[in-house]
């Protein structure tokens, strides 16, 4: 009977860890929002493809014309336009 209790404890502990551990590889990325050359603000996104849409949804000053920019692995500032095309800032 004690071995069943130990197994149940280990299973419960494992399930608890699975529930409380955040998704692997998913981190929010800081994105800067620009209207032309003017910095408007920043957002954090899990999917970079949504950066520009999130900027435009969050900041009224954008009026749908902001781009979302992030720093890539090479320390370059990369922006996404409304169509999702990437370009360097």
pLDDT at 55: 96
pLDDT band at 56 (very low <50, low <70, confident <90, very high): very high
What proportions of the chain, in percent to the nearest 5, are helix, strand and coil? 35, 30, 35
> Does 13 fall in a domain?
no
> Does 3 fall in a domain?
no
Q: Average pLDDT of the chain?
A: 82
6-35 average pLDDT score: 64
40-53 average pLDDT score: 93
* Total domains in the fold of the chain: 1
pLDDT at 75: 94
pLDDT above 50 (res 20): no
Whole-model pTM?
Answer: 0.68
Domain that holds residue 61: 29-88
> Does 11 fall in a domain?
no
């Amino acid at each position: 009977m004690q071995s069943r209790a130990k197994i149940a404890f280990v299973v419960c502990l494992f399930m608890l860890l699975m529930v409380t551990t955040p998704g692997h590889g998913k981190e929010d990325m800081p994105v800067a929002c620009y209207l032309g050359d003017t910095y408007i603000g920043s957002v954090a996104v899990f999917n970079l493809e949504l950066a520009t849409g999130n900027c435009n949804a969050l900041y009224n000053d954008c009026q749908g014309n902001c781009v979302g920019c992030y720093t890539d692995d090479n320390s370059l500032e990369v922006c996404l336009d409304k169509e999702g095309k990437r370009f360097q800032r």
